[in-house]
Chain A
Amino acid sequence: MYVLRRLALWGRLRSPWLLHFNSGSCNACDIELLAAITPRFDVERFGIKVVPSPRHADILVVTGPVTRQAAPRLKRIYEQMPSPKYVMALGTCACSGGVFRGSYAVLNGVDNVIPVDVYVPGCPPRPEAIIDGIIKLLKKMEAEISGK
């Protein structure tokens, strides 16, 4: 059992698959996330991959301040992910609402809708910051899973 658990942990830490969901972002964070997977930064060499379906994903990367219309969809996507699942709030809007805080159409941040594991502030965060955020999340995953 112990060996199997170690094996699962090894696999999980070396292939964190991301699902990107835009909950009302202005596209700046989204293009920086996309830039992170292209040749200059190339996170795929660490096994990090952006996948199209929530059923395949380990980490949900949410950008944007969560608009009222996107919030139920965000919740549903989170519920569709298999556990253990982790959430990364990307950009100042996703962390706190940013410049849109207080608008009638937004819910001021991802943590008002679903639990968040790591926050990456910045408007938009640089690709390096995004990679750093993922590494921090992986360390957290390791501590959490191996500690159980």
Chain B
Amino acid sequence: MSVINLIFGPQHPALHEPELFRFKVEGEIVVKAEPRIGYVHRGIEKLFERNSYIRGIYLSERICGICNAAHTVCYCQVVENALGIEPPPRARYLRTIVHELNRIHSHLLLLGVAAEELGFDTLFMLIWRDRELVMDLIELVTGNRVMTAFNTIGGVRRDITPEVAEKCIKALSKLEERVKYYRKVFEEDPTIRRRTVEVGVLPRKEAIKYCVVGPMARGSAVDVDIRRDWPYAAYDEIPFNVIVRDECDVWARLMVRVDETIEAINIVRYALEHLPKGEIRLPLRRAVPPAEAVSRVEAPRGELIYHLISKGGTIPYRLKVRTPTLANLLAAAKLFEGNTIADIPAILVSIDPCFACTDRVTLIDLKDNKVKRVSLRELARRCRK
């Protein structure tokens, strides 16, 4: 049978972002998948080198609108590490609260989109209705629905009053009830199970080989979580479980996210009840001494790494961002092989792709169609032209 190229994207109803996948299909079966990234490349790492550390907070937040709290936590931590300062305990707890609220919203969003891609529109609408509960909480705590602008270098920008904390706890118990119901739906519904069980299997060995991160690794029985393995913010003081499943398929990856949402609700509740008193931020410092620092954060999609090199002054020399979807994408291309065309959206959604984080630049010489990667220096030279 001849092999047909199936082009998926950049504008496609199953993708909420412009990205191109080239599937080679034989009949109904996918034999090879090639992701083609770069539609959302905005040159952010270069922009960091032009903006001050304070402006960098807002820039890092806009790498990804969905997991913005994880990005700002990671950015603020890397600058704090370079400065050699530690935020006060109350700020660390507040960071944890907003980071976990962000995780709840991100996971519920993904579960809703997953239901939509599986053709279960009612569940999509129901999950997104209940997601508004957590959006209200984020707005109550930070002042904005999506872009929180909550973290700053050396602490956080807003405090929580006891009334707000009480409201949060009340809303969270309502949300928990709903999430437990959705857990039952995902666990028992025959339609969802038929579309997801034993689809897109990523064995544990392969998961380790491709270095996948986050819920994708934990759905393949790899027990990693930065929050526990390399604690930051207030995670060393808050008890929580790391959810690991050993089914290795799309269903396991979705169930990891459902259970993590319940865990996140418990973390927020614990942090609100045990909120220490005191300052919420340290005095502002604009300049960073020459230093090199690394920070790791467990974003909703997996491990997020920032690497900062400072040569002194108020502007970073270089800031490197390694986002979770980039780590997962290589393995994801392998997952499609051997599955049918109808399973493509289900597998794609199970990796929770966030291409806004991922996109890198590759220059293609149009004259002879040669692909080449360029050094940073050459790129900078081309920019100036």
Contacts and interface: CB of A to CB of B under 8 A. Distances in A.
Contacts of B124: 38
B60 to A, nearest CB: 10
Contacts of B132: 35, 38, 40
Contacts of B309: none
A103 B46 contact: yes
Contacts of A38: 112, 124-125, 128-129, 131-132
B16 A26 contact: no
Interface residues of B, number: 44
Contact of B16 (A24, A27, A35): A27
Nearest to A19: B11
Interface string B354-385: 10100001000000000000000001001100
Given A27-B66, A28-B68, A40-B132, A22 B13 contact: no
B11 to A, nearest CB: 6
A96 interface: no
Interface in A31-87: 31-32, 34-35, 38-40, 52-54, 64-65, 67, 69-70, 73, 77
B65 A31 contact: yes
Given A27-B17, A54-B11, A69-B39, A34 B128 contact: yes
Nearest to B385: A104
B42 A67 contact: yes
A70 B39 contact: yes
B16 A23 contact: no
A12 interface: no
B178 to A, nearest CB: 13
B63 interface: yes
A114 B275 CA distance: 51
B34 to A, nearest CB: 16
A24 B42 contact: yes
Contacts of B361: 105
Contacts of A9: none
A40 B129 contact: yes
B282 interface: no
Contacts of A26: 62-65, 68, 356
A104 B43 contact: yes
B43 A103 contact: yes
Interface string A113-139: 000000000011010000000000000
A70 B355 CA distance: 13
A31 B18 contact: no
A45 to B, nearest CB: 13
Contacts of B16: 20, 22, 27, 30, 34
Interface in B125-145: 125-126, 128-129, 131-132, 135, 145
Interface string A92-120: 00000011101111100000000000000
B109 interface: yes
A67 B68 CA distance: 20
A65 to B, nearest CB: 7
A100 B11 contact: no
Contacts of A29: 65
B17 to A, nearest CB: 5
Contacts of A20: 16
A100 B47 contact: yes
A103 to B, nearest CB: 4
Q: Name the residue in B39, B112, B383 with the highest tally of chain A Cβ atoms < 10 Å from its Cβ.
A: B39
Contacts of B13: 52-53
A39 B42 contact: no
Contacts of B128: 34-35, 38-40
A130 B12 CA distance: 22
B192 interface: no
Interface in A5-30: 20-30
Contacts of A69: 38-39, 41
A24 B43 contact: no
A102 B354 CA distance: 24
Contact of A124 (B10, B59, B147, B379): B147
Contacts of B112: 38
A38 B116 CA distance: 12
Interface of B: 10-13, 16-18, 38-44, 46-47, 50, 58-59, 62-66, 68, 109, 112, 124-126, 128-129, 131-132, 135, 145-147, 354, 356, 361, 379, 382-383
8 contacts: A23-B18, A27-B16, A28-B146, A32-B146, A52-B12, A70-B40, A99-B58, A104-B379
Given A25-B40, A69-B38, A69-B39, 13 more contacts: A24-B18, A24-B41, A27-B354, A27-B356, A31-B65, A39-B128, A52-B12, A103-B43, A103-B44, A103-B47, A105-B41, A105-B43, A105-B361
7 tightest A-B contacts by CB?
A28-B65, A52-B13, A38-B128, A105-B43, A103-B43, A26-B65, A39-B129
